[in-house]
Amino acid sequence: MKKVASKPSPAPARKPAKTGSRVRGPVKARVAPAKARAAKPGRPAAPKPARAASPQPSAAVQAKPARAAEPARAAGAGPARATAPRPRTIAVKAVRASAAHPKPSATAMLMPLHEGIVYGPVRSRRLGRSLGINLTPAHLKLCSFNCSYCQYGWSEHSRRASEPAFEHWPSAATVARAVAAALRSLAAQGDRIDRLTLAGHGEPTMHPKFKEVVAALRKVRDELAPSVPIAVLSNASTLERADVREALAGLDERYMKLDAGDTATLRSVNGSPLSIEQLVTGLKKVPGIVIQAMFVKDRTGRIDNTGDLTVINWVGALDRIRPKAVQIYTIDRTPAFPYLQPVPAARLREILQRVRLAGFACDVFGVPETPPEPRKA
């Protein structure tokens, strides 16, 4: 019986079940603070009206603050283009193509669009003192590309999407009169220029009567400034047109853009609807061209045409085109895509050496310590 009586003795050992209740107590205590901590982030959500203090204090702005930049740009883009003296302000609607990019903390100042046909003279790193000629409609950035580094901002219209009626393009006679008046004014002031440059805030070769414009300009130049060359800055997107190629042959200098040697990079840097094969095919049809290349890097890692493989592909494209010279540089003005950064001078010099080793005359701009390559007589 003692043995049987001894079995109930472990019963007191089951009393630690009460200690289980003590364990639950601290667990509840731990959970309670966790709920309190979870509640804390919910409270700062209330101050969202601070964003509503912006010019659009609507409920939609509080609910979806990421879209606040779109009304801001739509409201600011129109008046900014109508007042040329003020630099335009771009909100980050430009980043729309890549929703993964966070929005920058501040807006960027862009170059204003031109109000008329003639502007300048302006000082160019590559072309000296140049009198600019804008052939695209006033207050409308019209381009076949949508370059991430464009100083005029993003293109809202393209040739494929929306081409204004011909009445909105300046006629050849109108362009000739504007340039003639500017040349006479400069001559009266004793002011000299190095070039007449077809550029502006869009692609000049998109003009429906580009060949007629070039013929009219040549006539004015020969009469008033026979020693001044006429140049064009083009993205080479219209070279499938025979009339454009014929017009380019009538110019003194043809500076054609090529920032990549593969289609993927071309589209990320330039927003090009064309493939690299299409561009190279067109460039091969125009003799005596100078290739200009803008090298940029994106601090978010999305845009970069400075990598070794990318540069090798680009030099390969140069080898197929066979330009008479190459010019490379990086950004020194506010770009359309606010995350772009200038390429270090050391990397530009490395690219310069690659181009020269490939057998092309090449100069780099924006790197003062790099002297221009001597020209052969």
Please give the chain's pLDDT, 377 residues, in tens.
444 444 444 444 444 444 444 434 444 444 344 343 433 444 434 333 333 333 333 333 333 334 333 333 433 344 344 334 344 433 333 333 333 333 333 345 777 787 889 998 988 877 889 999 999 887 788 899 999 999 888 877 555 434 555 558 899 999 999 999 999 999 999 999 999 999 988 899 999 999 999 999 999 999 999 999 999 999 999 999 999 999 999 999 999 999 999 999 999 999 999 999 999 999 999 999 999 999 999 888 889 999 999 999 999 999 999 999 999 999 988 898 888 999 999 999 999 999 999 999 999 987 765 555 555 54
Long-range CB contacts for residues 246-251, cutoff 8 Å, separation at least 24: 246/211, 247/205, 247/210, 247/211, 247/213, 247/214, 247/215, 248/205, 248/214, 248/286, 249/286, 249/287, 250/211, 250/214, 250/215, 250/218, 251/198, 251/214
8 A C-beta contact, residue 136 and residue 200: yes
Here the tokens at position 168 are: 């909105």
CATH architecture of structural domain 108-364: Alpha-Beta Barrel (3.20)
What whole-number distance in Å separates Cα of residue 43 and Cα of residue 61?
Answer: 19
Measure the N-to-C terminal CA separation of the chain; round to a whole number of Å. Answer: 125
pTM > 0.75: yes or no:
no
What whole-number distance in Å separates Cα of residue 175 and Cα of residue 167?
Answer: 13
Separation of CA 212 from chain center: 30
8 A C-beta contact, residue 123 and residue 135: no
- Integer Rg of the chain from CA: 31
Instruction: Identify the DSSP state of 299.
Output: T
Residue ranges covered by each domain of the chain: 108-364
